[in-house]
Amino acid sequence: MSQAIALAAFLNTHLQNEHREALTLMITDIAESCKKIAIAIDSGALEGNMGSLGSENIQGEVQKALDVISNDIFVEANQRSGYVAGMVSEEISDVIEVAEKHKQHGQYLLLFDPLDGSSNVNVNISVGTIFSILKSSNNHPKLVDFLQPGVSQICAGYAMYGSSTMFVLTTGNGVNGFTLDAESGKFYLTHPDMQIPKDTQEFAVNMSNYRFWQEPVQRYIDECLQGEEGDRGKDFNMRWVASMVAEVHRILIRGGVFLYPMDSKLRNQGGKLRLMYEANPISFIVEQAGGAATTGTKRILEIKPMGIHERVPVMLGSKNEIDRIVKYHALKKR
Ligand code: AHG
Ligand code: MN
Ligand code: MN
């Protein structure tokens, strides 16, 4: 461990732009929050925190105790830097205001999914936390100040509470992964300059939705399933964890595609995944690692948001596969 670069030392050399001081403090607070969430998850059953609360969040989804605990940890711990002017969380319907005394500098907006994949939490399968940082034009941000396209993000990342706890980060200059050393409580750089292979033979999608998908997605998956005997001439493998963080982490390590496409059940709500704190931060990371992210017809990072909890179709991962999916959508439109 003596040779390994700790997160603090990494930030010190890696951050070189005008956001340097702010990002250093905000990322440090975020990483600390993720450590606290990891501890809450680890001791979940012991603390009686594994169940559902019987309440629903703004999205109409059942809240788990750990959804709310993770949200509260994140909101509390990220007011310290003095740079966060306002927050948006999956679990809270409105903009979260930051107290005046915590806004010495203000100027930045923090958006997050405190616990991604929370349906997995009581079956002991990987979950994560996703975050995105935007610049604010003022110190008292209103909802409209958050509605910036993904290309405006200055930082995005996720923590993954898996077989080890990891913290993966981009500030627009590549993607770097850190592993939590439980003994020292520090994150160390273990995955420098993560790159998604351009080609893959692995896809992740909830196959039970097949009959609700649009034709271009059905075509793509049909061809994967036909394997060596079909047009693609090669066999594919499938994974579905039901935690986007875990799927994306696997894609960053060994390539692959992740699809949560539009389907006829989701049409009224626009898709499954939330643009501002799921699709945008993850798409930023994926592009920074050499991958691509699309709705099928549009680059996710260029979507002009209409609401803080807006949902979108998401298809991302290995570049050549995503290009193929985009092509199938374009052919259908003609
Ligand atoms: P969340 O737990 O934050 O609501 O997000 C869950 C998301 C995503 O992580 C995952 O890929 C997908 O929902 C799982 O959907 P299915 O239950 O349809 O498989
Ligand atoms: Mn989520
Ligand atoms: Mn969540």
Q: What is the pLDDT of residues 1-23, one digit of tens each?
A: 658 999 999 999 999 889 999 99
Looking at the structure, do residues 74 and 159 belong to the same domain, yes or no?
A: yes
Q: For residue range 140-179, list pLDDT tens digits in order.
A: 999 999 999 999 999 999 999 999 999 999 999 999 999 9
pLDDT of residue 45: 67
Residue 197 lies in a domain: no
Task: Please give the tally of structural domains in the chain.
Answer: 2
- 99 and 179 part of one domain: yes
Reply yes or no on whether the pLDDT at 94 is more than 70. Answer: yes
Q: Report pLDDT digits (tens) over 31-49.
A: 999 999 999 998 876 777 7
CATH assignment at residue 51 = 3.30.540.10
Does residue 137 sit in the same domain as residue 30? Answer: yes
Q: Domain end: 150, 167, 191, which one?
A: 191
| DSSP-derived secondary structure letter, 263 | B
Kindly state the DSSP code that residue 101 receives in the 8-state scheme.
G
From the CA of 58, how far away is ligand 2's center (Å)? 13
Answer yes or no: is pLDDT of 55 > 80. no
Query: What CATH number does residue 311 fall under?
Result: 3.40.190.80
User: Residue 237, Cβ neighbours under 10 Å: how many?
Assistant: 12
Question: Which atom number of ligand 1 is nearest to the Cα of residue 260?
Answer: 11
Interval between CA 190 and ligand 2 midpoint (Å): 25
Residue 305 lies in a domain: yes
Residue at 26 is within a domain: yes
- Note whether residue 254 is domain-resident: yes
**320 in any annotated domain:** yes
Q: Which residues surround ligand 2, an ion (CB under 5 A)?
A: 113, 116
Output the six-digit token pair for 35.
């450590």
The last residue of one of the domains, among 154, 169, 191, is 191
| DSSP E strands, the chain | 52-56, 62-64, 84-89, 96-97, 108-116, 127-135, 155-161, 165-170, 175-181, 186-191, 202-205, 237-238, 257-260, 273-274, 292-294, 311-312, 314-317
Q: Looking at the DSSP assignment, which residues form a beta bridge with residue 294?
A: 299, 315
- Taking the C-alpha atoms of residue 116 and residue 95, their distance in angstroms, rounded to an integer, is 19
Please name the residue whose Cα sits nearest to atom 12 of ligand 1.
Answer: 242
Ligand 1 pocket test: pick from 88, 113, 160, 206 the residue with the most ligand atoms within 8 Å of its Cβ: 206
CA 171 to chain centroid: 14
Arithmetic mean of pLDDT, 228-241: 97
Same domain, 258 and 174: no
Domain boundary at 191, 214, 230, which?
191
Domain-embedded: residue 196: no
Q: Domain range for residue 288?
A: 202-333
Same domain, 271 and 167: no
Residues 140 and 41 in one domain: yes
